[in-house]
Structure 1
Amino acid sequence: MGKLVNLRHLEIEDTSLKFLPQGIGRMSSLSSLSKFIVGGGCKIEELKNLNLLQRKLEIVNLERVTNKDEAKEAELKNKQYLRDLQLSFEWNDSSEMSEIERIEGVLEGLEPHGNLNELRIESYIDHKFPIWMTKGTTLSNLRVLVVNQCNCVQLHFLESLEKLEIRSMPKVKLIGCEFLGIDSSDGVDRLFPKLESLKFEGMFDLEEWDLKMKNVMPRLKHLTVTGCPKLKQIPTLGNLEVLKTLEISGISSFECIDEELMGVSNGESIPTVVFLKLQKLGLHNCYILKSVPECIMSSSAIRDLNISACPLLMWTQSCLSPLLETLRLFNDAGLAQLKSLQRLHIRFCKKLECLPEELQHLTSLQELEISSCDILGPRCQKGGEEWNIISHIPNIQVDQKKI
């Protein structure tokens, strides 16, 4: 294969290959190589002369690299055209210090070029990241960082980041100043000044999250917290002035989302307007969640409300935003749970198109009033698209006219 010296593109991303043949290092004209598999006679040093590689490169089976010096032979620092790099180890739960230090050295030797925009690290067992990840000058152009199934308990801040995803870090129990490698978030000015998207997923032992979010991430627009069953609280979010999307899923220890979430102390009144930019709110698999403040649910900015598997969650009809465009109620979080519901009023939902099918199973429902719903109203007339769902309800009014 090494004879194909003029080959420019080698795509093996969706193949079942477990090894690569020797000689790839002689294919110095390659500009795209989707995946590089270490092992089987193909050592990582084969990457040394492939300095024309562009866009994305995934390197897997890095646990087969012997040490730091061997890793440095790849000379990733010279790959100035690479923009997206994924470094993957095979998961190894070894607690032997020699093995941990070896893996640390391997990652240390894989320092990329400063032009890199996206970095993904998989199954790294050491407790700290390499020096090149902690120096802001090394990765000054990094926009996206994804860390998956790693043992690290500390993530140093990178000022250029716009998107950060943390997945399956079993050693992390507290997200606070120590996790970011700082002394305190008090008085800290914009640790992540450009960060717009933050996601925590599968953090099964995470119990606490204690940060002053506005100080740390003032431009955060999208926040997702999913699969963190032991998490007892999340930090104040009400002062995140540009937050647009909030997704909370699989936090089974949450009983309520209260005033503290919005930065309101005991005894203070809840502000009438919070989350001015919040457009999408999702609550999923929060099995003991009982309440969400009305001023969040009724925020005039919310266009998309998505609730599933929150069987104890209760709210009143006044909670729904009049500008709501999409309402999704799934599983036991839907209207089917409201067996005693007698009256349902839907008003000023200008873009709401249809009703949930569970509505036809609410046998206690006596009154349905729909007003100022330009699309839904005509669909709820006799013979309309929604009539089969609501025909069992004794009293139906659409725009103050009895049907």
Structure 2
Amino acid sequence: MAEGFLPMDSKSKKMEEFGKEYLEDLLSRSFFQCSSNKNASFLQMHDLVHDLAMLVSDDFCFRLDLSSDVHSLPTKIRHLSYRKSSYDLDNLKGLSKAISLRTFLALPMQIRFRNYLVPYNILLTKGSCLRVLSLSQSSIKELPDSIGSLIHLRYLDLSGTEIEELHESACSLYHLQTLLLSCCTKLSQLPRNMGRLINLRYLDITWVPLKEMPQGISQMKYLQFLPRVLLSDKNKDDVFKITDLAELEHLSGSLCILGLENINDATEASKANLKDKKDLTALTLSWSYGAADADSSQKELDVLDALRPHTSLKSLKIERYRGTTFSNWIADDAFSNLVSITLLNCKSCCYLPPLGQLASLKDLRIDGCDSVYSIGDGIDSSCPLFTCLESLRISNMLMWKEWSFGTEAFLQEGQVFPLLKRVWLRNCPKLNVGLPGYLPSLERLSIGDCEEVEYLLPRTQQTVTAPPFLHLWNTNEVFIWNCPVLESLLDWGSHSKVKELSLSNTKVLFENRIKWDLQKLSCLEHIRIQGWEDDSFPDEGLLPITLETIVIGDSSKLETLNGKAFEQLTSLTDLSIRSCKSLRCLPEEGLPTSLTDLSISGCPLLNQRCEKGGEDWPKIQHITNLSVK
């Protein structure tokens, strides 16, 4: 785009759409290949194609590396790239000869290094042909006035620099299409005349601590990428207001709107026309930290109603909303594309929206909604609910006490949470039952800091014989910590797949260990125990013989290890004992011969006994990897 290879916007297509077609064409011809890294959206080039490209572009393209000689730059050079922190950039003074330079690009594109030196003054005085200028993570702290002389500049990357001010002269770069300022942590304001950059399409201000935004941004009619906007004090002039969003018709991707407490009323909020921005896929609606309580809960609700986005939205996050009720549109089944919802620190809301009918919802996070007493109210449990949900995270819910979906619905196969794989509950001090019911697809369960949870399932379901589909056959990992009154674990079923179990500071559960029934866990390989309340560990027959790793820690009452119980653990290869200050010795019977890794730390009574020549040394001298400290 910056080099002018893409046609300007036509009535039918944007420049980006042309670019995507060209890229797909190059991929189909194997000029580029998809990266071998499946987690990264990068392309790569085959070595032979790369060598050919370098050969045919030798006079025009140059890549600086440790072996390059900048003094040998061809005078026709147009495109130059360099590696951050891998080159003596003082030698770049030879760039003054490159009078036709169009591209000066820092690699890699990701932010990894900081404060390397770049003689950017040469580029700004001699680079009148520059279209692409990347000074990402360089030592630059101030952009000089001469930046305005780069009249052909289309792409400017200042991300990760310590620049404190963007000079007004930058606003004369009328052809600029991309301005990257992400992670400029000392930049607190943008130029007042930003609106002059009428061709700007991408403005990245992620992780930039702006105090306010200029109103002129609304004049950037082609702007497509603007990750966040900050609404300033409603009494100020010449600052960005919610109504200015109406002019930015082409916004796409993610948008975070901060400072929503500065909206006067619902009429003003509706002028943002969020409902017409069909290219937005992720939206965050955020009220500021420390904002005063709302004058009227109804006014807050009306504003949230007016901020209804387009139904093509895929991700929604609402932060610090001050009303007592959420808008109905959040649970409207017209939002069939919604995949992720986060409700964060909405402390005045007493009820959650009935989200169970959202057909595509896969990830739900609820955090810090302190006034919510029950989850499930208002949901019609006669219909299948949360049919696609895979991840549920609930935390810091100080008043939440119960689930209220109705147990009968959960006793019917696949009616509620049929695909839920991950449950994470933390700091819900009044919750009395951990799970709403049997979860047939559950793979990972994490419950912590829930002081009043007595059971993981409703009592009515613990007294019945569960049909096969209700056994937790798919659960792989179970983590429970700081649940002191929890009485029992789950009904594992005879085909359980649990591989890892972690129990920490669960006093009553430890006392009821005879009911754990861990012998059913034929796949259990790793167990972690913290805060053990007895003087001996483990009981004979408590642990299955499949165990490979045991970690026991922070157990001040533990005095001995049960040698007969350890003799049964013939698969054990890794044992870690941490902060067991009363542990006197290792078992008389010794440790399993299968053990290859032993780590002992914070156990002062064992240190001398486990040294070479100590009383316990013969018991551990066969172990390959041994650490005692």
Q: Give yes or no for TM over 0.5.
A: yes
* Contact in 2 for aligned 1:51/1:80 (Cα 8 Å): no
126-135 vs 242-251, which deviates more?
Answer: 126-135
Which position in structure 2 is the counterpart of 1:303?
A: 499
Deviation at 1:258, TM superposition (A): 6.2
Deviation at 1:145, TM superposition (A): 0.9
* Contact in 1 for aligned 2:526/2:550 (Cα 8 Å): no
Question: Structure 2: which amino acid aligns with 1:148?
Answer: L
Alpha-carbon distance in structure 2 between the residues aligned to 1:234 and 1:354: 26
RMSD of equivalent CA atoms:
3.4
Q: Residue 560 of structure 2 aligns to a residue in which SS?
A: coil
Deviation at 1:149, TM superposition (A): 2.0
Which position in structure 2 is the counterpart of 1:329?
A: 529
357-366 vs 276-285, which deviates more?
Answer: 357-366
Alpha-carbon distance in structure 2 between the residues aligned to 1:270 and 1:132: 37
Which position in structure 2 is the counterpart of 1:242?
A: 441
Match of 1:177 among 355, 367, 377: 377
Which position in structure 1 is the counterpart of 2:624?
A: none
Superposed CA deviations along residues 240-290 of structure 1, whole A, max 9, x for unmatched, are: 2112222211110123446727x233xx55789821111111112212324
* Contact in 2 for aligned 1:343/1:365 (Cα 8 Å): no
Q: Residue 2 of structure 1 aligns to a residue in which SS?
A: helix
The reply to whether residue 222 of structure 1 matches residue 418 of structure 2 is: no
Which position in structure 1 is the counterpart of 2:327?
A: 130
Which position in structure 1 is the counterpart of 2:387?
A: 193
Question: Structure 2: which amino acid aligns with 1:260?
Answer: R
User: Identity of paired residues, percent?
Assistant: 26
Which position in structure 2 is the counterpart of 1:155?
A: 353
Q: Residue 365 of structure 2 aligns to a residue in which SS?
A: strand
Alpha-carbon distance in structure 2 between the residues aligned to 1:208 and 1:361: 34
CA pair 281-235 structure 1, distance change in 2 beyond 3 A: closer
* Contact in 2 for aligned 1:221/1:245 (Cα 8 Å): yes
CA pair 384-200 structure 1, distance change in 2 beyond 3 A: closer
CA pair 366-108 structure 1, distance change in 2 beyond 3 A: closer
Q: How many corresponding residue pairs?
A: 377
Question: Structure 1: which amino acid aligns with 2:371?
Answer: K
The reply to whether residue 210 of structure 1 matches residue 404 of structure 2 is: yes
The reply to whether residue 166 of structure 1 matches residue 363 of structure 2 is: no
CA pair 54-167 structure 1, distance change in 2 beyond 3 A: same
Q: Residue 264 of structure 2 aligns to a residue in which SS?
A: coil
215-224 vs 19-28, which deviates more?
Answer: 215-224
- The structure that has the greater radius of gyration is 2
Deviation at 1:28, TM superposition (A): 2.4
Question: Structure 1: which amino acid aligns with 2:376?
Answer: G
Question: Structure 1: which amino acid aligns with 2:320?
Answer: S
Match of 1:22 among 209, 215, 220: 215
The reply to whether residue 116 of structure 1 matches residue 309 of structure 2 is: no
Alpha-carbon distance in structure 1 between the residues aligned to 2:331 and 2:376: 17
Which position in structure 2 is the counterpart of 1:349?
A: 546
Match of 1:66 among 257, 264, 272: 264
State the TM-score, normalizing by the size of structure 2.
0.54
* Contact in 1 for aligned 2:437/2:457 (Cα 8 Å): no
Question: Structure 2: which amino acid aligns with 1:21?
Answer: P
Alpha-carbon distance in structure 1 between the residues aligned to 2:294 and 2:247: 35
Which position in structure 2 is the counterpart of 1:141?
A: 337
Q: Residue 282 of structure 1 aligns to a residue in which SS?
A: strand
Which position in structure 2 is the counterpart of 1:274?
A: 471
CA pair 190-338 structure 1, distance change in 2 beyond 3 A: same
Which position in structure 2 is the counterpart of 1:401?
A: none
CA pair 357-289 structure 1, distance change in 2 beyond 3 A: closer
Q: Structure 2: which 5+ runs fail to align?
A: 1-193, 576-590, 621-629
